[in-house]
Amino acid sequence: METRLAARMQVLKASDIREILKITQNRDIISFAGGLPAPELFPTESLADLAAVLLRQKGTIALQYSPSEGYPPLREKIAKRMNKVWKTSLAPEDILITTGSQQGLDLTGKLFLDEGDAILCESPSYLGAIMSFNAFGPRWIEIPTDNDGMEMDAVERALEREARVKFIYTIPSFQNPSGRTWSMQRRRELVQLATRFNVPIIEDNPYGELCFDGETPGMMQAMDNEGLVISLGTFSKTFCPGLRIAWIAAKREIISKYVILKQGADLHSSTFDQMLTDAYLETHDLEQDLMNKRAVYKQRRDAMVRALEREMPPGVSFTRPRGGLFLWVEMPEEIDARELLQRCLDRGVAFVPGATFFPSNEKPNTMRLNYSNMPEERIEEGVRRLGAEIRSIMSETTRKASVRRSALPV
């Protein structure tokens, strides 16, 4: 049977992250690997009450098939909320409910990509997007990315050179994996470039509301007059991920195309989970929840940054994110994070080697650390072990190098 598989199966492989998560799942490990929100912040009690009432009062609707576009009151709440927070001007018809933002990525690949089409992306970029889009055989054009976002000269040159760029994929706020946030200036410039070349921007925005320092950064979708920005939003980080409720926001002509693909992908997202999310938004203040989440995550980010400053040897640098769940570490070139991971797992610490986040040009000496899922003392302990292991590899390398040097005929 294996000979009958599609050509794409030669390229696709299981997510490194999910494989690492499986290893760490049932062991007492300090895991910086996942992107898991803090479960102690989930509103389990409120949802228990809401779920019971919902099933008693509207169970025959909540357990039945429902429209592919999504539960109408939820689409309306999402549009309103986005307009309030991000100053977009979206109507309910501009929203499609998806089964996690991951589905938004999959449908986006399906909507735009023929084999050999080009995608512009940040370098590094989100692994889940790389996996989804790779199913459609694209060419990746990694745009050099600094602390303010993609370098615009490189974007412009790529758009001039390549006729078959189907979209520009970005995570402008608190990026996964780097923790970086685009400046407002860069966002405006990208929207201008996209308008000039008539190229869609995919604005993946799962972390935008998890801003700890300063103002929540604006969205490109609010700067766009041409309907070229398609944004992906999710409740996974602001509410909870287990219900898999997320959305695509775009002009309705494009949403109607997405709906066709949604029908073929899973008909519709869980009616019950959509209605439960809607009931929660109806009866609770998500702003209050977000304030709690931001406070907890800020403390954990601070704990991790402090520990890294203390424990990392010279030659190791890292980002200091203003929000989100991740930071990014760059180590001296002789350190391969995949080998480091093997050693760290033995010492009870996990992370994701950075190489997996580059669609083509891997940087093996990088890693992504998550700080949202562990209490501060565990973060400190984990970073301590991580630092010790890096130091140990560095000193081994130095020793080997000096042995090599002293072995040279003089």
- Min dist CB 183 to a second copy, Å, is 25
Q: Any contact of residue 189 with a second copy (CB under 8 A)?
A: no
Q: Any contact of residue 66 with a second copy (CB under 8 A)?
A: yes
Q: Which of residues 195-214 bind a second copy (CB under 8 A)?
A: 198-200
Q: Please say which residue, 57 or 392, places its beta carbon nearer to a second copy.
A: 57
Q: Any contact of residue 61 with a second copy (CB under 8 A)?
A: yes
Cβ–Cβ under 8 Å, residues 255 and 88: no
Residue 144, preceding peptide bond in cis (omega within 30° of 0): no
Quick note: the x/- pattern for a second copy over 148-187, rule CB under 8 A, is ------------------xx--------------------
Q: Any contact of residue 119 with a second copy (CB under 8 A)?
A: no
* Angle ∠(145,149,154) on CA atoms, nearest 5: 55
Q: Please say which residue, 198 or 288, places its beta carbon nearer to a second copy.
A: 198
Cβ–Cβ under 8 Å, residues 290 and 37: no
Cβ–Cβ under 8 Å, residues 40 and 373: no
Q: Any contact of residue 92 with a second copy (CB under 8 A)?
A: no
Q: Which of residues 29-48 bind a second copy (CB under 8 A)?
A: 34-37, 39-40, 42, 44-45, 47-48
Cβ–Cβ under 8 Å, residues 158 and 143: yes
Round to whole Å and give the CA distance between 179 and 233. 17
Q: Which of residues 384-403 bind a second copy (CB under 8 A)?
A: none
- 3-state secondary structure string across 129-176: HHHHHHCCCCEEEEECEECCEECHHHHHHHHHHCCCEEEEEECCCCCC
Q: Any contact of residue 269 with a second copy (CB under 8 A)?
A: yes
The piece of 77-85, 177-185, 236-244, 388-396 that touches a second copy (CB under 8 A) is 236-244
The piece of 78-86, 109-117, 153-161, 329-337 that touches a second copy (CB under 8 A) is 109-117
Q: Any contact of residue 272 with a second copy (CB under 8 A)?
A: yes
Which two three-digit tokens encode residue 222? 């609010």
**Among candidates 100, 126, 35, 40, which has minimal Cα distance to 372?**
35
Round to whole Å and give the CA distance between 6 and 17. 24
The piece of 3-11, 214-222, 380-388, 397-405 that touches a second copy (CB under 8 A) is 3-11
Q: Any contact of residue 326 with a second copy (CB under 8 A)?
A: no
**Residue count of the chain:** 410
Q: Any contact of residue 116 with a second copy (CB under 8 A)?
A: no
Helix 286-311 crosses helix 376-407 at what angle (to 10 degrees)? 30
Q: Please say which residue, 266 or 287, places its beta carbon nearer to a second copy.
A: 266
Helix 184-197 crosses helix 152-161 at what angle (to 10 degrees)? 10
Q: Please say which residue, 4 or 404, places its beta carbon nearer to a second copy.
A: 4
User: Binder to a second copy among 82, 83, 114, 219 (CB under 8 A)?
Assistant: 114
Q: Please say which residue, 51 or 152, places its beta carbon nearer to a second copy.
A: 51
User: Binder to a second copy among 178, 271, 319, 356 (CB under 8 A)?
Assistant: 271
Which two three-digit tokens encode residue 43? 């509103």
- Min dist CB 123 to a second copy, Å, is 20
User: Binder to a second copy among 32, 136, 169, 247 (CB under 8 A)?
Assistant: 136
Q: Pairing relation of β-strands 149-150 and 95-99?
A: unpaired
- Min dist CB 58 to a second copy, Å, is 9
User: Binder to a second copy among 30, 33, 111, 296 (CB under 8 A)?
Assistant: 111
Tell whether the torsion through CA atoms of 188, 193, 195 and 200 is positive or negative. negative
Q: Which of residues 333-372 bind a second copy (CB under 8 A)?
A: none
Q: Which of residues 243-262 bind a second copy (CB under 8 A)?
A: 243-244, 253-254, 256-257, 259-261
- Min dist CB 336 to a second copy, Å, is 24
If binding means CB under 8 A, how many residues of this protein chain bind a second copy? 95
Round to whole Å and give the CA distance between 66 and 63. 9
Q: Any contact of residue 263 with a second copy (CB under 8 A)?
A: yes
Cβ-based neighbours of 106, under 8 Å, separated by 6 or more: 132, 135, 265
User: Binder to a second copy among 177, 206, 241, 382 (CB under 8 A)?
Assistant: 241
Cβ–Cβ under 8 Å, residues 42 and 238: no
Q: Any contact of residue 67 with a second copy (CB under 8 A)?
A: yes
Helix, coil or strand: residue 314 = coil
